[in-house]
Chain A
Amino acid sequence: MKALLSGNEAIARGAYEAGIKTAVGYPGTPSTEILENITQYPGIYAQWSPNEKVAFEVGCGASISGARTLVTMKHVGVNVAADPLITFSYTGVNGGFVLVSADDPGMHSSQNEQDNRRYAEFAKIPAIEPSDSQEAKDFVKAALEISETFDTPVMLRITTRIAHSQSMVELGEPQSSELKAYVKNPVKYVMIPAYGRIRRAAVEERMQKLTKWARETSLNTIELKSRQYGIITSGICYQYVKEALPEASILKLGLTYPLSEELIKGFAQQVEQLFVVEELEPFFGEALESMGIKVAKKGLFAKIGELTVSLIKEKISAELGLDLPAQSKVETAGLPVAPARPPVLCPGCPHRAVFYTLKKLKLTVTGDIGCYTLGVLPPLEAIDTTICMGASIGTALGMEKSNPALVGKVVAVIGDSTFFHSGITGLVDMVYNKGRGTVMILDNSTTAMTGHQHHPATGKTLREETANVVKLAELARAVGVKRVVELDPFDLALIEKVIKEETAAPETSVIIAKRRCALLEKGTGKPVGIDRDKCINCKQCMALGCPAIALRDGRVTINTDICTGCNLCVQVCKFSAILKAGEGHE
C-alpha cells in the first residue's frame, strides 16, 4: 500500500516498521512531527525530554539496555546533545541507535544554519541522508543495521525540504525486534580514561571498517548517463539535480560520512568533468580535495542558504558552456509591491503586555527562543539579544556584572518550555553569583512555537498521559530566589508595578507571567469595541502591535473577527474609548 507522507511522517513509520522500541526528543522545527507521529504506532515507548542532551542520554540508556532507539532533534539541538554524542561514539551501542538531525538550510525557523554532517565527522559516526520520504522511511532501518553491525550511533541527517515535503511511500509490515540482553560491561560503557583509551582505538578501527564498507553499500548509487560530466550529490539536492540536468551522470551518496575514496575515484574516472552539488558546507568538496580528486569548479555554489533547480541548471550549464533558454515568466515589474507579511504575536497573546511594558520602561531585555522572540519586531521592539535556547539568563547576568550602567536595568525573558530546556542552570548561576537581574518566565503552559507540545509543567506527557506538574515558583524558591512574583499578564498596571519593583530590588527576582497560549484558548473571549465619541484617534492602542487593531480610512478600528477580548487595549486607552464586550460599544 502507498501513502503520501512527509519525511518526518515517513521516519516515524520507518521506526515502527524497523522495530524501534524507544523514541525520544525535544521539539524543534523541522524535526517535531517525527515524535508526534510515532505515538500512533503500538509497541514504541516515546517521550519528550526537557532538552536534547537529556533526550540523547535517555536514548543512550535505551540502547545500552538493549532497545532499538531513535532520538530526534533540530540541528541546533545537536549542539546541546554534543557532549553525550561524542562519548557515546566511544562506547558504541547495544540496541541500534539512530540520531535524527533535522537541519534548516535557509533558516526558515532557526537562529543559524549549521551543517551537521560536520558533527558526524567530529563525533566519528556514520551519517546517512535520504532524498525523499521513501528513503526517509527505508533509511531508518538501514541506520539501525549499520548501528548494530558496526557498534556505533548513526546520524540520519535530514533538511527542512526532506522533513516537510511529502512524497509517495510504500508501506511495509512492522518487523519484530527483540530486546537485546543487557550485559554489564564497564570496559565498554564506563568511560574512565583507562577504558576510554581502549574504546578510542575501537572508534578508529570502526571508522576504517566503515570507510571500506562505504565502497560497497547500496546506500550509495551511481547513475551513468552523460560521459561529459558527472555530479556528486546527496539528500534533497539529488532531486534538484535530477530535475535540472536529466542527462547528468550522478553519484548519489546515501552514506555521506564516511566517504569511500575508491568509489568516488571510480566515478570520477568515468566522466570528463566532475561537479559537487551540496547545500551549506563544502563537506564533499573538501573531502574530494583531500583525496586529490579534481572537480571542474571549486566553490561553484555559495555556502549560504538553499540551492534550487534553476541555480544548479544555470551554474553547471555555464561551466559546460551550454546555452540555456531564457526563463520566461509573468512580467511583474510594473505591478504594485506586496507589503511584507511578517509573523506576529497573535491577538490575545499573553506575551504582548510584557513587551509593551518592558519597552515603555526602557529596560534592556535579553531574549530567548520561542514565539516571544517576535517581541523584537515593530512596534514592540523590546528585545536586545537572542542567542540560543536558555541564553537569556546568563546573558543578563554577564551584562550587569560587566557594565555598571546596566545594573538594575536588565530583564531576562524566557518561555516556560525554554526555562526547563536550559534556563534553570542560568537561574542557579544568577542566584549563586549574587546577580540582581530580573528573570521573567512567560508561562503560556505549552511549547507554542513548534505547535504546542507538552513539557514538565503541563501535566501531560507526549502520549497524553497525566504527569507531575513542576511548579515554577517553587522551583525558583528552591534554588534560592527570595523574590518570586506570579502575575496575570493581562493586568497591565500590575505588570508595570511589579517590573519596577523587581528591577529596583538589589537581588535576583523571578516574575512568572502565567496565562495559557491564545491559540489554546481560541474563541473563548468576546471582542472589544470603540466608543466613537471618545476616541480621538491618538493610536496609543496600536503600540501594542495587536493584529486585531487596524487603521481603516485613518481611523482606529477593531477587527472583531479576530479580537479575543484580552482587554489590553482597554487598559492602554487614556480616554476610555475602548470598551469591553457587553459595555454598549458599536
Chain B
Amino acid sequence: MNNINLLLVGVGGQGTILASKVLAEVAMQSGLDVKMSEIHGMAQRGGSVVTHVKIGSKVFSPLVEKGEADIIMAFEQLEALRWLDYLKPEGEVLVSRQIIEPVPVILGKAKYPDNIVAEVKKVVSRVIAVDAVDIAGDCGNPKASNVVMIGMLAQKLDFSREVWIEALRKLVPPALLQINEAAFEKGCAC
C-alpha cells in the first residue's frame, strides 16, 4: 500500500495524543509499519500541539513534512489553518468547529480569523467540519470530542471497524469506554 501521512493538530489538553495512539494501535494491529512523533514539554501550557503519524509497509522518517499530509485532523479551527501548509493538494481536512483563543487574541493583540472553515474550503476541496464537542456532549462528555474525530477518521481509512473498537478498549480508561464508544459511532456517522 501507499504510505498514509497524517497530522493531528490541536491545543494542549484536547486529547490529540490519545487520538494518535489509537490510530497508531489500529495501524499496528492491521500488520502495518507505523511511526509517530510528538513534541512534549509545553503541551500542557496551552501551546499548539502537533502529532505526526505515518503508516505504511515501511516507514523511515517519523515526521510529516510540508505538502505531505494525506489528512489533517484538527481538533480546533485555528490549528487547522496553522498547519494547512502540510497538506497535499489532494489531501483532506477533518476539523472540529471548536474555537480556543490563543493568548494574543485574548489580549486583543491579534484577531482570531473569521470563518476559518470557509477560508480553508477555498483552497482544499475535501473539508469536513463538525461540532465535535456538541456531539460528544450529547454522548455524555464533551471531552470525548477527540473520539468523535477518531470515528470520522475511521471512515476515511481502510481498517476494520473491530480493530478501531479494540484499540479504543485498550487505550481509553474503562470508566469512560461507554461514552467513548458512543462518541466513536457518532463520529463514524459524520
Chain A residue contacts of B85, Cβ below 8 A: 329-330, 332
As a 0/1 sequence over residues 372 to 406 of chain A, the CB contacts with chain B under 8 angstroms (1 = contact) are 00100111000000000000000000000000000
In the complex formed, the residue of B with least CB distance to A374 is B45
The answer to whether A330 and B36 touch (CB under 8 A), given A109-B41, A167-B62, A343-B46, is: no
A243 within 8 A of partner (CB): yes
List A contacts of B12 (CB < 8 A). 343
CB of B33, distance to nearest CB on chain A (Å): 7
| Contact present for B119 and A547 (CB under 8 Å) | no
A524 at the interface (CB under 8 A from B): no
Report yes or no: A109 in contact with B60, Cβ–Cβ below 8 A. no
Contact with B along A102-128 (1 / 0, CB 8 A): 000000110000000000000000000
- Residues of chain B within 8 A (CB-CB) of A242 are 60-61
* A340 and B45 within 8 A (CB): no
B103 touches A545 (CB 8 A): yes
Smallest CB separation, B1 vs chain A (Å):
16
Question: A184: CB under 8 A from chain B?
Answer: no
Q: Separation in Å of the A533 CB from the closest CB of chain B?
A: 23
Interface residues of A in 439-457 (CB under 8 A from B): 449-451
Establish whether residues A330 and B37, one from each chain, have CB atoms under 8 Å apart when the complex forms. Answer: no
B42's nearest neighbour on chain A, judged by CB, is: A343
B15 at the A/B interface (Cβ < 8 Å)?
A: no
Q: Which has the most chain A C-beta neighbours within 10 Å: B62, B102, B113?
A: B62
Main SS of the interface on chain A?
A: loop
The interface stretch among B63-71, B148-156, B174-182 is: B63-71
Q: How far is the CA of A240 from the CA of B68 in the complex (A)?
A: 14
User: A547 to chain B: closest CB distance in Å?
Assistant: 6
Q: Contacts of A545 on B, CB cut-off 8 Å?
A: 103, 107
Residue among A165, A334, A549 having the largest count of chain B Cβ atoms under 10 Å = A165
- What residues of B have a CB within 8 angstroms of the CB of A337 in the complex? 113
Query: Is there contact, CB below 8 Å, between A329 and B123?
Result: no
Inter-chain CA distance A327–B119, complex, in Å, is 22
How would residues 115 to 150 of chain B score, 1 for a CB under 8 Å from any chain A CB and 0 otherwise? 010011011100000000000000000000000000
Residue A59, interface by CB 8 Å: no
A-contacting residues, B26-75, CB 8 Å: 28, 33-42, 44-48, 59-63, 65-67
CA–CA, A108 and B105, complex, Å:
23
Question: A29 contacts B41, CB within 8 Å?
Answer: yes
| B78→A547 contact, CB < 8 A | no
- Determine whether the beta carbon of B25 is less than 8 Å from that of A4: yes
Are A542 and B107 interface neighbours, CB within 8 A?
Answer: yes
A365 to B46, CA, bound (A): 24
Write out the residue numbers on chain A whose beta carbons fall within 8 Å of the beta carbon of B122: 334-335
A160 within 8 A of B: yes
Please determine whether A168 and B28 come into contact, CB atoms closer than 8 angstroms. yes
Chain A positions within 8 Å of B120 at CB level? 335
Question: Do residues A310 and B34 form an inter-chain contact, with CB atoms below 8 A?
Answer: no
Q: Which of A165, A335, A377, A451 contacts B81, CB < 8 Å?
A: A335
Check if B60 sits within 8 Å of A341, measured CB to CB. no
Measured CA separation A330–B34 after assembly (Å): 25
Q: Is A321 an interface residue (CB 8 A)?
A: no
Hey, which chain A residues are within 8 Å of B59, CB to CB? 167
How far in angstroms is the closest Cβ of chain B from A560?
14
Chain A neighbourhood of B61, CB < 8 A? 236, 239-240, 242-243, 309
Whether the Cβ atoms of B101 and A344 lie closer than 8 Å is: no
Instruction: Flag whether B91 is at the interface (Cβ < 8 A).
Output: yes
Given the known inter-chain contacts A108-B39, A239-B62, please indicate yes or no for A339 contacting B104, CB distance below 8 A. yes
* Nearest chain A CB to B120 CB, angstrom units: 7
Instruction: Point out the residues of chain B lying under 8 angstroms from A308, CB to CB.
Output: 63, 65
A551 lies within 8 A of chain B by Cβ: yes
User: Which residues on the B side are within 8 Å of A211 (C-beta)?
Assistant: none
Hey, which chain A residues are within 8 Å of B81, CB to CB? 335-336, 338
B28 surroundings in chain A (CB, below 8 A): 2, 4, 168
Give per-residue flags for A124-150: 1 if the beta carbon is below 8 A from chain B beta carbons, else 0: 000000001000000000000000000
Q: Are B62 and A161 in contact (CB under 8 A)?
A: yes
Asked if A164 contacts B40 (CB within 8 A), the reply is yes
Q: A4-B25, A240-B61 are in contact. Are A109 and B40 (CB under 8 A)?
A: yes
Q: Which residues between 182 and 231 of chain A lie within 8 Å of chain B, taking CB atoms? A: none
Query: Min CB distance, B184 to chain A, in Å?
Result: 20
A346 at interface by CB-CB < 8 Å: yes
Q: How far is the CA of A343 from the CA of B43 in the complex (A)?
A: 8
- The yes or no answer to A30 lying at the interface (CB within 8 A) is yes
- Residues of A with C-beta under 8 A to B86: 329
Contacts of B66 in A (CB 8 A): 310, 327, 329
Give, as a whole number of angstroms, the nearest-CB distance from B176 to chain A.
Answer: 16
CB distance from B166 to the nearest CB of A (A): 15
B103 with A547: CB separation less than 8 A: yes
Residue of A nearest to B108 (CB): A551
Beyond A342-B47, A547-B106, whether A328 also contacts B89 by CB under 8 A is yes
Our pick among A240, A328, A341, A450 for the contact of B78 (Cβ within 8 Å) is A341
Q: Which B residues are in CB contact (< 8 Å) with A165?
A: 35-38, 62-63
B104 touches which one: A239, A327, A340 (CB < 8 A)?
Answer: A340
Name the CB-closest residue of B to A542: B107
Chain B residues contacting A550 (CB-CB under 8 Å) are: 101, 105-106
B67 x A328 contact (CB < 8 A): yes
B169 at the interface (CB under 8 A from A): no
Interface presence of A519 (CB below 8 A): yes
User: Can you list 6 pairs linking A and B with CB atoms under 8 Å apart?
Assistant: A29-B41, A308-B63, A328-B67, A335-B84, A336-B116, A346-B46
Known: A309-B65, A341-B102. 13 other contacts (CB 8 A): A4-B28, A164-B38, A166-B35, A167-B62, A242-B60, A330-B89, A335-B84, A336-B119, A338-B113, A339-B78, A340-B102, A344-B103, A547-B103
On B, residues with C-beta under 8 Å from A are 11-12, 24-25, 28, 33-42, 44-48, 59-63, 65-67, 78-79, 81-82, 84-89, 91, 101-114, 116, 119-120, 122-124
